[in-house]
Amino acid sequence: MHFVINFIKAKPEIDKEYNLVYQPGQILIGQHRERFWSALDSWSVKDYAKQWIDGLKRIKSHDISCLIINYIGIPEDPSLLVWAIFREGNRLFFENRALFNWKDKQIFKKPFVSKNCYEYIEPRSIYTNPASKCDVYSTKYIAEEVDALIESLQRVPL
């Protein structure tokens, strides 16, 4: 499998200092592995998994998609952490992006719902200045592997 996204623990964890409940997860892109923590105050594990399935289905027919790994739904100040996905031929490119209302007011002009999250993803960044480069990971696009990942996410008891 060239990329995988999943939750890595059966039960959520609690940050007692900040009184936050979150679910640890991971994304693997080729040889790159990164852990993340999904807040459970606005979305459930099921909400994240459903969006991942929708995002994976979308990349099969569109050039841009995303996988939301953290959503904080404060009405006046929503924020998202996403892995933006760009399909170019037989390659998938992944960029980790943070979308904050205070920084990107134009992004959240209408209420956020998971179905419109793709509208917030700007085109792929191609940096020529190494100092401004963000982390970009790529892997080979194999439709059958995307289907297998979708199927595995659908089987997870939520």
Q: State the average pLDDT over residues 11-32.
A: 91
123 falls within a domain = no
Cβ-Cβ contacts under 8 Å for 115 (sequence gap 6 or more)? 54
Beta strands in the chain (DSSP E): 3-7, 13-15, 20-29, 32-39, 64-72, 79-88, 91-100, 136-140
C-alpha–C-alpha distance, residues 1 and 153, integer Å: 14
C-alpha–C-alpha distance, residues 26 and 138, integer Å: 16
124 falls within a domain = no
Range of the domain at 44: 3-118+132-155
pLDDT at residue 37, as a whole number = 94
126 falls within a domain = no
| Domain of residue 47, CATH code | 3.30.2450.20
pLDDT at residue 127, as a whole number = 56
pLDDT at residue 6, as a whole number = 94
Of 106, 58, 48, nearest in space to 86 by CA? 58
Contact 121, 66 (CB under 8 A): yes
pLDDT at residue 66, as a whole number = 95
Structure tokens belonging to residue 86: 């760009």
The helix (H) or strand (E) run that includes residue 152 is helix 143-155
pLDDT at residue 69, as a whole number = 96
Higher-pLDDT residue of 129, 76: 76
Higher-pLDDT residue of 97, 155: 97
Q: State the average pLDDT over residues 17-46.
A: 92
71 falls within a domain = yes
Q: State the average pLDDT over residues 3-9.
A: 91
pLDDT at residue 134, as a whole number = 59
Cα 58 from chain centroid? 13
pLDDT at residue 129, as a whole number = 47
Give me the sheet containing 91-100, strands edge to edge.
Answer: 64-72, 79-88, 91-100, 136-140
pLDDT, tens only, 85-136:
999 999 999 999 887 765 555 566 666 777 878 887 888 876 544 544 557 8
Domains in the chain, number: 1
